[in-house]
A and B are shown apart, each in its own frame.
Chain A
Amino acid sequence: EAQVTQNPRYLITVTGKKLTVTCSQNMNHEYMSWYRQDPGLGLRQIYYSMNVEVTDKGDVPEGYKVSRKEKRNFPLILESPSPNQTSLYFCASKSRSSEQYFGPGTRLTVT
């Protein structure tokens, strides 16, 4: 089954404790993205990747890092999480000609 998976689905952590949210897709897509979704603000792109070792900032990259060492994986790293990064995070992937497929979401709470 074609899908985008994210882990963990729910995470509660404390300010400053480094965390990684994993994302994996099995569709051999070139493009992968991370979004955060906040009430009234919709989906905002954090980072995107056009292929292995090619990443670029989206609209709200501050406080986040990404890497794309393999085509299927695109982890999101928060080196020092802060409460304003409490949000619902979605990973997505697409090929140049396909629609964008979203993962199930990761709900992060930073206290």
Chain B
Amino acid sequence: QKEVEQDPGPLSVPEGAIVSLNCTYSNSAFQYFMWYRQYSRKGPELLMYTYSSGNKEDGRFTAQVDKSSKYISLFIRDSQPSDSATYLCAMSGSSASKIIFGSGTRLSIRP
């Protein structure tokens, strides 16, 4: 079993829809949870960063962490075609250098 599981998609939704992306994990030592966005032929860029359980909102993006269920989510409101990308979840424990990534979900927003 992988430490971090993420549905690879692809996921295709119409413009303006609410998108929900999810990851599950098995290691209860994870404390830091991240979502990265990766456009085609580019390196990943950090979207959201949360510590421990709870919600964090940044514009149209909301990250949720439920440590009791070992489940994290990223919600995108009012989705735009420019949100079309691969979204990777990532997490780490107390070591800042050891980050485990999910396999990524490919998202397409239809105009």
Stretch at the interface among B58-66, B76-84, B99-107: B99-107
Asked if A94 contacts B96 (CB within 8 A), the reply is yes
Decide if A33 is an interface residue (CB 8 Å cutoff): yes
Chain A contact residues: over half helix, strand or loop, or mixed? Answer: strand
Interface size on B (CB < 8 Å)?
21
Residues of A within 8 A of B49 (CB): 99
Measured CB to CB, the closest approach of chain B to A79, in angstroms, equals: 24
Decide if B8 is an interface residue (CB 8 Å cutoff): yes
Return 26 A-B CB contacts under 8 Å, by A number.
Answer: A4-B43, A31-B96, A33-B97, A35-B101, A40-B8, A42-B88, A42-B101, A42-B102, A42-B104, A43-B44, A43-B88, A44-B101, A45-B98, A45-B100, A49-B97, A50-B97, A90-B44, A99-B46, A99-B49, A100-B46, A102-B45, A103-B43, A104-B42, A104-B43, A105-B42, A105-B43
Residues of B within 8 A of A94 (CB): 96
Residues of B within 8 A of A102 (CB): 43-45
The 6 closest A-B pairs by CB, nearest first: A102-B43, A42-B103, A43-B101, A99-B46, A42-B101, A48-B97
